[in-house]
Amino acid sequence: MKASSEILLNATLVTADNQALTYEFILNENLSATECVCVRSLANGIVMPVPDFRESMKGTLFELNHVRVNPHLDNGEIIQSLTEALEDIGVEVFNQPGQNQMAICYRPLGELSENVRFFCESDGKIVFLAPTRHLRVIQSESKGPPSNVIKF
């Protein structure tokens, strides 16, 4: 089976007023975002591409909801890379499915010990964060995403 070179992250935009805006990112094998869409309605399949997302969303904080994989490809390597990136920030991954179960299961990554947040740098690299790191978040008034969006 051919190895997958991409994984999809579904995430919620973190805002000061707790709006529920959902985005999806396609990450490559280096865990850099190559595409981004805003999900307007998952039930109706309404998604809006985010043009120039690397600049417009740079530093914008998201909370990871779930991961999706291509069920027709071998996702083992990319899942392992993501697992290692999460373990590097102190997040434990439990109950990981076996390679032959990954394509059909609801949580191909497994279960996480913490909520994971992340932001995208201008080169597309995703930076993962965990609450246990005691990060300080500030609100930005800069142009780009809505002013209630939390940025670093």
Its pTM stands at: 0.81
Number of Cβ within 10 Å of residue 6's Cβ equals 15
pLDDT in tens, 22-49: 999 999 999 999 999 999 987 788 899 9
Q: Which own/partner contact pairs does 143-148 have at CB distance under 8 Å and 24+ positions apart?
A: 144/55, 144/56, 144/57, 144/58, 144/60, 145/13, 145/56, 145/57, 145/60, 146/15, 148/15, 148/16, 148/17, 148/19
Residues 6 or more apart whose Cβ sits within 8 Å of residue 67: 7, 8, 9, 10, 79, 82, 107, 108, 109
Q: Alpha-carbon distance 105 to 69, whole Å? A: 10
Question: Is pLDDT at 135 greater than 60 in this prediction?
Answer: no
pLDDT at site 1: 81
DSSP 102-151: TTTSS-SS-EESS--EEEE-TTSBEEEE-GGG----EE---SSS-TTBEE
Q: Which residue has the higher pLDDT, 131 or 68?
A: 68
Average pLDDT over residues 70-82: 90
| Averaged pLDDT score across all residues of the chain | 84
Percent of the chain with pLDDT over 70: 80
Percent of the chain with pLDDT over 90: 52
User: Do the Cβ atoms of 114 and 56 come closer than 8 Å?
Assistant: no
pLDDT at site 41: 83
pLDDT in tens, 80-112: 999 999 999 999 998 887 766 655 556 788 889
Question: Is pLDDT at 19 greater than 60 in this prediction?
Answer: yes
Question: Is pLDDT at 122 greater than 70 in this prediction?
Answer: yes
The DSSP code for 55 is H
